[in-house]
């Protein structure tokens, strides 16, 4: 798009995407955190630009995270997800096949059922995912949630920084210091701590990406600024011409010193 | 540049250029106006992105404009411009040839002398220039000042709007209304009224183009904003989870109704509404305390 716009010198604001990491600290209310993550991840069947793409957490809480998400899914969609009126489907066959192929060779802790006829993919969680696997390459944009284990927040920050800048970043922790540290040591389009998606809902906050996740921002006042040209107008007087003598030639060292 | 940056998704701020028009109203102090225009036009031999490119004025003041600029040039550079230490040269041979070719077939009211060896082009003014001539096609970026005559400010505005949006626009008039009118009826990167170039020096003003003259702005705080990414960070708490119930599935009409209430109903009475709401909150809190106390 940008290359096409370049031909006509049209300015662009690009809202792209990326893999939005979601770091869960050991010190946090896991039940609440997982409920919010579940809501954000499986909303519209994971097909939102700012859905938490994958989870980073300590190996010791991995199974607890899975259990919590499982419990929340039952709360939200009932026992049979497929028949729930609130659970969506994948947008088309092409993406259905794409997302389904990401499951190959993965350890499926929950879900994994698919139905090609209705483009249905059950809410799925993958555990002990390898950072080099296919599901960790591109934005998933589907109801598949990989969990990558990290030993510490430093490892999580390093993991995030090794990759392209995401559109959104999520941190769950009771420790405000830790949250601030993650914000300071990483870069992303936007971020929400202790929740998901909500920073895009606040109209006073600029919404947009950085690096590979996009350029420019909008929402609320920022939309107005983005799509307008702020024209600098300086209206002077024709009087007080004497003061201008300083800038006119012929130049001289006295003037330079002044 | 933009196409190259597109390959790497690098955001760009482009300061391009254009033909910066300079409209001189009949009602203005011509001596002062011409002195300022002369300064801006021939600074660095016309090789600045925001130099006044061409003049638009009424035919009746055209010769007076030429005379004033001529007098100012003498003030600035003395009788022999070529020997003045303050007058610059064209940057290279290629541009020297380019600017020189713009003079062909034009009515030269002043200047026109060139010297290829030193890339010297004398301060030149062209009068009664046709809007279709070569000198009116691209940005001149040289010490050649065409004057195009227009019968009125409406004609000037129309003339400017027919062309690509310029990087700068100049208006000289004692009539502030006229200046404001030109500003509102045209578009340009920036404007200076009754002077040239000065909007570039005010670091609080954003400097940049629009349309074909560029995109994005910088200078002062605007540079910081342009080259930074303003990252939205929303830090919430893990408490108060019950208030979130409304957004979780399963959906229900009741939830939709509540959502509509919170999102669509706007208490638009501004501060008074907010005050009333706060008051109601206090009353409710007191009542709760009393009833449970």
pLDDT of residue B244: 80
- The ranges assigned to domains in chain A are 13-218
Please judge whether A234 and B189 are an interchain contact, meaning their C-beta atoms are less than 8 angstroms apart. no
Please judge whether A7 and B3 are an interchain contact, meaning their C-beta atoms are less than 8 angstroms apart. yes
The alpha carbon of residue B245 is apart from the nearest alpha carbon of chain A, in Å, by 10
Q: Is the peptide bond before B5 cis (omega within 30 degrees of 0)?
A: no
Place of tokens 């209705």: A118
Interface list for B 187-216 with A (CB within 8 A): 187-195, 198-199, 202, 205-207, 210-212, 215-216
The alpha carbon of residue A147 is apart from the nearest alpha carbon of chain B, in Å, by 21
Q: Name the residue among B174, B234, B238 with its Cβ closest to that of A32.
A: B238
What is the Cα–Cα distance from A121 to A90, expressed in whole angstroms?
7
* Cβ burial B122-147 (10 Å sphere, 16+ → b, else e): bbbbbbebeeeeebbeebbbbbbbbb
Fold of A13-218: Aldehyde Dehydrogenase; Chain A, domain 2 (3.40.309)
Comparing CA positions, the residue from A12, A18, A77 lying closest to residue A49 is A18
ipTM associated with this complex: 0.85
Q: Is A66 on the interface with B (CB under 8 A)?
A: no
Interface list for B 238-277 with A (CB within 8 A): 238, 241, 244, 247-251
Structure tokens at B5: 């940056």
Bridge partners of A108, per DSSP, are: A126
The alpha carbon of residue B229 is apart from the nearest alpha carbon of chain A, in Å, by 7
What is the Cα–Cα distance from B49 to B142, expressed in whole angstroms?
10
Sequence-separated (6 or more) residues with CB below 8 Å from residue A30: A24, A61, A64, A65, A68
Residues of A in contact with B193 (CB under 8 A): 233-236
Q: Is B35 on the interface with A (CB under 8 A)?
A: yes
pLDDT per position as a tens digit, A172-225 = 999 999 999 999 999 999 999 999 999 998 989 999 999 999 999 999 999 999
Residues of A in contact with B75 (CB under 8 A): 248
pLDDT per position as a tens digit, A8-41 = 999 999 999 899 999 999 999 999 999 999 999 9
DSSP reduced 3-state for A101:
helix
Residues of B in contact with A86 (CB under 8 A): 249-251
Interface list for A 115-174 with B (CB within 8 A): 172, 174
pLDDT of residue B267: 53
B243 or A139, which is more confident? A139
Please judge whether B230 and A206 are an interchain contact, meaning their C-beta atoms are less than 8 angstroms apart. yes
Instruction: For chain A, give the mean pLDDT.
Output: 93
pLDDT of residue B293: 64
Please judge whether B235 and A187 are an interchain contact, meaning their C-beta atoms are less than 8 angstroms apart. no
pLDDT of residue A104: 93
Q: Is the peptide bond before A177 cis (omega within 30 degrees of 0)?
A: no
pLDDT of residue B264: 72
Supply the residues of B annotated as catalytic. 15
Residue of B nearest to A186 (CA): B231
What is the Cα–Cα distance from B41 to B147, expressed in whole angstroms?
13
Is the C-alpha dihedral spanning B272, B276, B282, B285 positive or negative?
negative
Q: Tell me if residue A15 is catalytic.
A: yes
Residue of B nearest to A198 (CA): B234
pLDDT of residue A112: 92
The alpha carbon of residue B276 is apart from the nearest alpha carbon of chain A, in Å, by 23
Q: Is B97 left (phi over 0), alpha (psi -120 to 50) or beta?
A: alpha
The alpha carbon of residue B41 is apart from the nearest alpha carbon of chain A, in Å, by 12
Cβ pair A223, B181 in contact under 8 A? no
Sequence-separated (6 or more) residues with CB below 8 Å from residue A171: A22, A23, A25, A178, A179, A182, A183, A191, A193, A194
Give the other-Cβ count within 10 Å of B283's Cβ: 10
Q: Is A218 on the interface with B (CB under 8 A)?
A: no
The alpha carbon of residue B139 is apart from the nearest alpha carbon of chain A, in Å, by 17
Please judge whether B235 and A176 are an interchain contact, meaning their C-beta atoms are less than 8 angstroms apart. yes
Residues of chain B short of pLDDT 70, as ranges, are 265-270, 293
Residues of A in contact with B79 (CB under 8 A): none
Q: Which numeric CATH code is attached to B17-224?
A: 3.40.309.10
Residue of B nearest to A238 (CA): B194
DSSP reduced 3-state for B54:
strand
């Amino acid at each position: 798009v940008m290359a096409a716009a370049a031909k006509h010198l049209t300015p662009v604001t690009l809202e792209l995407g990326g893999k939005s990491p979601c770091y869960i600290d050991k010190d946090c209310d896991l039940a609440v955190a997982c409920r919010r993550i579940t809501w954000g991840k499986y909303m519209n069947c994971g097909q939102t630009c700012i859905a938490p793409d994958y989870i980073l957490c300590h190996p010791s809480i991995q199974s607890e995270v899975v259990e919590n998400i499982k419990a929340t899914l039952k709360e939200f969609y009932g026992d049979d997800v497929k028949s729930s009126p609130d659970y969506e489907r994948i947008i088309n066959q092409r993406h259905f096949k794409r997302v389904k192929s990401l499951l190959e060779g993965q350890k499926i802790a929950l879900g994994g059922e698919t139905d090609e006829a209705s483009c249905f993919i059950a809410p799925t969680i993958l555990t002990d995912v390898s950072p080099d696997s296919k599901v960790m390459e591109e934005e998933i944009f589907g109801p598949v949630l990989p969990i990558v284990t990290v030993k510490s927040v430093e490892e999580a920050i390093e993991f995030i920084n090794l990759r392209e800048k995401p559109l959104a970043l999520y941190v769950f922790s009771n420790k405000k210091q830790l949250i601030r540290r993650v914000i300071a040591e990483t870069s992303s389009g936007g971020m929400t701590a202790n929740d998901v998606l909500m920073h895009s809902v606040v109209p006073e906050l600029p919404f947009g990406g950085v690096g590979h996740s996009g350029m420019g921002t909008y929402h609320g006042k920022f939309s107005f600024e983005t799509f307008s040209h702020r024209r600098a107008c300086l209206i002077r007087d024709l009087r007080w011409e004497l003061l201008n003598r300083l800038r006119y030639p012929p130049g001289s060292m006295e003037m330079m010193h002044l």
